[in-house]
Amino acid sequence: MGIEFVSHFPEWHHLLLKTKDADHSIRFYSDYLGMAAVLDQKDKDGSRWVWLRFSENPTAPYLVLLEKSGPEKALPAPTTSQLLSFRLGDMKRVQDIAEKAKKENCLLEGTSEGGALRGYFCLVSDPDGNQLEFSWVFPSKP
């Protein structure tokens, strides 16, 4: 007889980001993170909901893009700084993303070393101004 562990913590299901142009954001998150749209639909009001997930990790939380229709489509200027952080497997991937973002004019902060917590990182802006941090954490010293 096995024992089943049930967590008392909720499961993280998704993060919602409002977008002006869902197609542009889908391309961005596909190019930079390897995410793919698993559901793309419109609600009764005509707003578009796109559910993205990492292609190689089907159990990861979703990133949901909401493109409003009609007069609500314009997004207000952000009043807070938002940052999504993604850890990468090596320093080269961080450098490659920084170079790509620079060419595409969405690099906010080039590669730099941020110590033990941040590691080697760069900051990139998505099409709607959300900040993404791509980092590689230095291996621990024995």
Each residue's pLDDT tens digit, 64-82: 999 988 766 565 555 566 7
b/e code 90-110 from CB counts within 10 Å (16+ = b): ebeebbebbeebeeeebbeee
Q: How far is CA 47 from the centre of its chain?
A: 21
Q: How would CATH label the architecture of 14-69? A: Roll (3.10)
Could you give the count of Cα atoms lying within 13 Å of 5 in the half-sphere of its Cβ? 2
Q: Looking at domain 82-142, what is its CATH homologous superfamily? A: 2,3-Dihydroxybiphenyl 1,2-Dioxygenase, domain 1 (3.10.180.10)
| 41: CB partners within 8 A, 6+ apart | 48, 49
SS3 132: strand
- Domain extents for the chain? 14-69, 82-142
**pLDDT by residue (tens digit) across 20-50?**
999 999 999 999 999 999 999 999 999 999 9
Same topology between domain 14-69 and domain 82-142: yes
